[in-house]
Structure 1
């Protein structure tokens, strides 16, 4: 059984209470179609479980398979530097077939970001370092594909599709 390494910390993007009894971590790739399928399943779990669930997203772009995944991850981190990580995260998954730079800048504009700063931040060492740190933590945690989920620090290898993830979380 693989364990999450490192554990959830201050540098993570989290939705929900830090002390929630259920801690769900996803290693995801914004261009991965399976991650796109997991996105509404996670939203459903968040809605159903409310404050019982904290959700953390960590970047795990696979550029050999998904050439726009790295840029999308950098866009999410650039948006995070203006306090809009989750808004960009949602836009990326809701428009997975539009991850080129022109669309990323359009998302930034629609989210009310300073677009020039966003473009600089996408090129920043801080954004690159965060994506790399997430990816490296995935490798240490035994991630070998996306999406990969961890529930309360343990790798979840069950069926996450449809209601599978929610049903598993409700049984915990």
Structure 2
């Protein structure tokens, strides 16, 4: 078995992760503008899994996914990745720049820092690295969910979670 972080989809120390530390790891490659990603993320946030979000920003979807990924990276630098993502997913019709600034203010973020950080080289590098990792893992569209080295492009449901938990128990 490869050491953690060496194979595509492996959990990394710098990942955006939430959920129980002992839950089965689930890596979701997503795009905050994608309705299927929104559904998958909401479902997995409520499941007993260790959820990791990585950006899968595909050029074919236009410039907005990259702008939102940059905003999420900027929010992460102020320890607000998950609250920011949750709010984006709760109101997908409000994802333009003024909406992002308002959301940053509502979450108590330094908006000037947020604006600088979302467009800087480190955010771009992180988004590009997530994309490369996702493509290497077999992601061909969003959402792409990687569990135990396999990739699934569907939206998980209760049966999927139960199968995951049962597999982990064996």
Give TM-score, length-normalised by structure 1. Answer: 0.85
Counterparts of 1:1-172 in structure 2, within 5 Å, are: 5=8, 7-18=10-21, 20-45=22-47, 49=48, 53-156=49-152, 159-172=154-167
CA distance in 1, matches of 2:12, 2:44: 20
How many residues align? The count is: 162
CA distance in 2, matches of 1:146, 1:23: 18
CA distance in 2, matches of 1:21, 1:152: 13
The question of whether the paired residues in 1 share the 8 Å contact of 2:9 and 2:146 is answered with: no
The question of whether the paired residues in 2 share the 8 Å contact of 1:41 and 1:166 is answered with: no
Stretches of structure 2 lacking an aligned partner (at least 5 in a row): 1-5
Question: Where has structure 1 moved over 6 Å in runs of 4 or more?
Answer: none
Relative to structure 1, the CA distance from residue 162 to residue 7 in structure 2 (aligned partners, 3 Å threshold; closer, same or farther) is: closer
CA distance in 2, matches of 1:129, 1:22: 28
CA RMSD of aligned residues (A): 2.0
Q: Please state how far the C-alpha of 1:161 moved relative to its aligned partner.
A: 4.3
Stretches of structure 1 lacking an aligned partner (at least 5 in a row): none
Q: Please state how far the C-alpha of 1:170 moved relative to its aligned partner.
A: 2.9
Q: Please state how far the C-alpha of 1:21 moved relative to its aligned partner.
A: 5.0
Q: Please state how far the C-alpha of 1:139 moved relative to its aligned partner.
A: 1.0
Give TM-score, length-normalised by structure 2. Answer: 0.86
